[in-house]
Amino acid sequence: MKNGCPTVKWISLLLLLAFFASFNFIPHPTHAQNPRRADKVSPDLQDVARGVASNSRVPVIVQFTGSPDASFDSDVANNGGRVKAQFTNVNAKLIEISARAAEALATRPNVGFVSLDRPSVPVGHVTATTGADLIRLANGTNTVGLDGSGIGIAILDSGIDTNHTAFLDRSNNLRIIFSQDFTGEGRTDDPYGHGTHVASIAAGNGRISNAQYTGIAPNANLINLRVLGATGRGTVTAVLSALDWVMANHAAYNIRVVNMSLGAPAIDSYRNDPICRSVRRLVDAGIVVTAAAGNNGKNALGQKIYGQVHSPGNEPSAITVGAANTYGTDERSDDGVATYSSRGPTRSTWTDTLGLKHYDNLIKPDIVAPGNKLIDAESPNNYLVAQDPSLDAGVSPVDARRMMYMNGSSMAAPVAAGAAALLLQVNPKLTPNLIKMLLMYTAQPLPRFNMLEQGAGEINIEGAVRLARLVRTDLNATTVTGAPLLTTSALPIQQTTIAGQTFSWAGGLLFKSDYGTGIDLITKYQGMYALGVVVSDAVTITNGVVVSDRTLLSSGVVVSDGVVVSDGTVLGSGTIFLPSSALTADGVVVSDGVVVSDGVVVSDVSLSGDSIVQALSAQDKGDLTSISTVKVDSGADCLSY
């Protein structure tokens, strides 16, 4: 028969359909099958689906555009999953299935969006706006999620109140595992009030006020090294003694992070400054050091001042943190650099054999983090609250549960310290330079602020942790520049969404007087990520031309020749604010007292001071801001943080 028998055609078609129906409904996830599928899958689920645990079952919420077809539940079961709940009123289902299979669900025409089932608990402002809350998911080995467990953070400050509820673990054990006084006052509590507040930002738990004031790494261990006295002042000697103690004892207490919310006048170059040199020793030994930039960003007339970054914030190997003002909102769209936060360039100097003075002029800070009017733990009867009772936030009348307001880069630095602890929990093999890269590369550039004000931008813990999960754990001293850096060839989505706002990552790193961009920074191992190397050493200046050191940087990194004003997109996308030659000209352009664009570069004479080290909390009331309603403590412990 020329056209064939219709009956035979129908039977053949039915057999063919039955054959295809015998296969599971979920195809192998490739973008070629449905180019729109990525728009229907949450970024964190995509990353899990492409990671090493892609076949592990995860809880997923599937939203439908219409009624789910009758085969959906059975097909989920056939692919090793199960339906856990149905939400009739919102037309969605909660299922448990492998991440790879979950991602493929978006190819179904009636599926509107597929996302991970993220935990929803009351959270505090700082953890919400930094993205820390977004990564409190079980990671396969820790049923609680990322909380800094096992990581030691040394707090060099005015002491810590060991009786405060914020420093207990979930079994009521104290997480302050060691205390020592270096001031000569013979006490390790906190009569000044600064250190307790700083420690709780880095690692306070969420027991008080239903987890509204949770620290960044709420289960990390704390090492209390008291270097500031009862009125917030100390000596370089005390700081050096504490840093020396850390060097000798870091292995015994697994100290991976040191926070220094303090500073001394940065007179001597980092090459000679004793605190900076001690910090470099720790970083070379694999210990992350976070340092406050300072709070001298404006003068008595309210004018911007450049060049008042304190020591050890002027040390290249430290992660120097400036203060951001979040205006009391979780959204990042209104964030800016606090007016009092110290700006670069660093103005410490060294003198050559001919007697010529040279300025360090490094771009600092490296990043900014929330530091304005933060509410965290208050030590009882402390000096700061005694001087200004309005600093008490009115959260609780119970000493062990009191909270207070504080401002300054002192508050911003422990945000970064807590973030470093989380990164090390995700990937214990990370070097300090890799952690610095992760924090800068994933930061959010803030519009209208140049790099001397914000560094790479505002800290983004969600992005940094997501990227850290992908970094190889077998990197070592023999890894060559240009070797693969990640465990996957699939790049992470270089955006983060916080409080409904999606922003792009900075996508670059700051060097001494320049910045570098390029995807190679996160796909290829760079020699500057190793121990014993300073990130800023990766570029040099020759006759005013910026060139990269190819032993430290792969050829895919583009190095700039200027400091830019951010326009809110990627690092370096704004207009040139100051050329590199100005920063490397030993003060010829940015010389003492000469106006630089929108501010004044301070004279090195104004940096003079004695050996006094001070806490870097802002002395004024902080930038004007609308503070959300204080969450009064009920007295009952919240353990769901």
Q: Give SS3 for 436.
A: helix
For the ranges 4-18, 375-389, 527-541, the lowest mean pLDDT is seen at 4-18
What per-residue confidence (pLDDT) applies to 498? 92
Residue 637 lies in a domain: no
Higher pLDDT, 583 or 524: 524
What per-residue confidence (pLDDT) applies to 351? 79
Domain co-membership, 209 together with 97: no
Calculate mean pLDDT across residues 38-67. 78
Q: What's the count of helices (H) and strands (E) in the chain, helices before strands? A: 15, 31
Structural domains in the chain (count): 2
Domain co-membership, 606 together with 504: yes
Domain co-membership, 52 together with 189: no
What per-residue confidence (pLDDT) applies to 9? 43
Confidence category of residue 625, pLDDT binned at 50, 70, 90: low
Euclidean distance between CA atoms 383 and 379, whole angstroms:
9
Domain co-membership, 186 together with 208: yes
CA distances to 308, 442, 567 from 506, rounded to whole Å, are 24, 6, 11
Domain co-membership, 90 together with 163: no
What per-residue confidence (pLDDT) applies to 122? 43
Euclidean distance between CA atoms 567 and 588, whole angstroms:
28
Higher pLDDT, 6 or 28: 6
Last residue of a domain, one of 63, 97, 116: 116
Domain co-membership, 78 together with 140: no
Domain co-membership, 73 together with 145: no
Judged against a pLDDT cut of 60, whether residue 490 lies above it is answered with yes
Burial classification of residue 608, based on how many CB atoms lie within 10 Å of its CB (0-12 exposed, 13-18 middle, 19 or more buried) = exposed
Euclidean distance between CA atoms 174 and 151, whole angstroms:
14
Euclidean distance between CA atoms 450 and 452, whole angstroms:
6
What per-residue confidence (pLDDT) applies to 587? 54
Tokens of 376: 């965290």
> What is the domain extent for residue 34?
6-116
Q: Give the H/E segment covering residue 11.
A: helix 6-21
Judged against a pLDDT cut of 80, whether residue 596 lies above it is answered with no
For the ranges 13-22, 346-355, 358-367, 551-560, the lowest mean pLDDT is seen at 13-22
What per-residue confidence (pLDDT) applies to 428? 97
- Ranked by mean pLDDT, the top range of 97-101, 193-197, 490-494, 636-640 is 193-197
Euclidean distance between CA atoms 133 and 640, whole angstroms:
12
Angle between helices 274-284 and 236-249 (to 10 degrees): 10
Domain co-membership, 497 together with 407: yes
Residue 1 lies in a domain: no
The CATH number of whichever domain residue 14 belongs to comes to 3.30.70.80
Instruction: Quick: pLDDT tens for 308-360.
Output: 999 999 999 999 999 999 988 898 988 999 999 999 999 888 878 887 888 89
Place of tokens 């991976």: 256
Domain co-membership, 151 together with 67: no
Residue 547 lies in a domain: yes
The CATH number of whichever domain residue 301 belongs to comes to 3.40.50.200
Residue 626 lies in a domain: no
115-131 b/e (C-beta count within 10 Å ≥ 16 → b): bbbeeeeebbbbbbbbb
Euclidean distance between CA atoms 466 and 48, whole angstroms:
9
Strands 374-377 and 403-406, how do they pair? Answer: antiparallel
Domain co-membership, 234 together with 89: no
Residue 634 lies in a domain: no
Write the DSSP symbol of residue 458: B
Strands 495-498 and 501-504, how do they pair? Answer: antiparallel
Q: Which amino acid is at 560?
A: S
Q: What is the DSSP string of 197-258?
A: HHHHHHH--STGGGGTT--SSTT-EEEEEE-B-TTSEEEHHHHHHHHHHHHHHTTTTTEEEE
Residue 622 lies in a domain: no
What per-residue confidence (pLDDT) applies to 189? 98
Angle between helices 461-468 and 432-441 (to 10 degrees): 130
Instruction: Quick: pLDDT tens for 207-216.
Output: 999 999 999 9
Residue 221 lies in a domain: yes
Last residue of a domain, one of 116, 146, 180: 116
Q: Which amino acid is at 394?
A: G
Distant-in-sequence, close-in-space partners of 633: CB < 8 Å, separation ≥ 6: 208, 209, 395, 396, 398, 401, 403
Torsions phi, psi for 58 (to 5 deg): -135, 155
Last residue of a domain, one of 116, 148, 181: 116
What per-residue confidence (pLDDT) applies to 517? 92
Euclidean distance between CA atoms 47 and 161, whole angstroms:
40
Calculate mean pLDDT across residues 460-470. 96
pTM: 0.83
Domain co-membership, 411 together with 507: yes
Euclidean distance between CA atoms 627 and 287, whole angstroms:
35
Q: Which amino acid is at 415?
A: V
Euclidean distance between CA atoms 509 and 14, whole angstroms:
60
- Ranked by mean pLDDT, the top range of 26-30, 367-371, 561-565 is 367-371
Residue 509 lies in a domain: yes
Residue 273: which of 319, 317, 322 has the closest Cα? 317
Place of tokens 């007295």: 635
Torsions phi, psi for 59 (to 5 deg): -80, 130
Confidence category of residue 65, pLDDT binned at 50, 70, 90: confident
Tokens of 475: 């990197």
Write the DSSP symbol of residue 448: T
Domain co-membership, 75 together with 163: no
Euclidean distance between CA atoms 422 and 415, whole angstroms:
11
Higher pLDDT, 27 or 51: 51
What per-residue confidence (pLDDT) applies to 543? 64
Torsions phi, psi for 443 (to 5 deg): -65, 160
Q: Give SS3 for 405.
A: strand
